Amino acid sequence: MGVKYVIVEPDPPGWWARNKFKTVVVLAVAAVVYLQGRDSGSAEGPQPRPTGPPAATISRSPQ
């Protein structure tokens, strides 16, 4: 009877399989830094917007 199966060493993992976790972490950190840099306009946070002049109100009460 001949040889039915040949057991061989599997190929070593490729670059992506070895470095997938590190690559995803670096890209996630870069995305967070980029998005935080876009959101904050100044170091003190958002400034209040000026409002218009006060409106005159007339109250009419019976005298």
Averaged over successive runs of 10 residues, the pLDDT of the chain (63 residues) comes to 80 95 97 84 65 74 66
Does a structural domain hold residue 61?
A: no
pLDDT at 63: 60
Does a structural domain hold residue 30?
A: yes
Residue 51 tokens read as 């409002």
pLDDT at 5: 82
Does a structural domain hold residue 32?
A: yes
Residue 21 tokens read as 């976790």
Place of tokens 């002049």: 53
- Tally of domains in the chain: 1
Q: Which domain holds residue 29?
A: 14-39
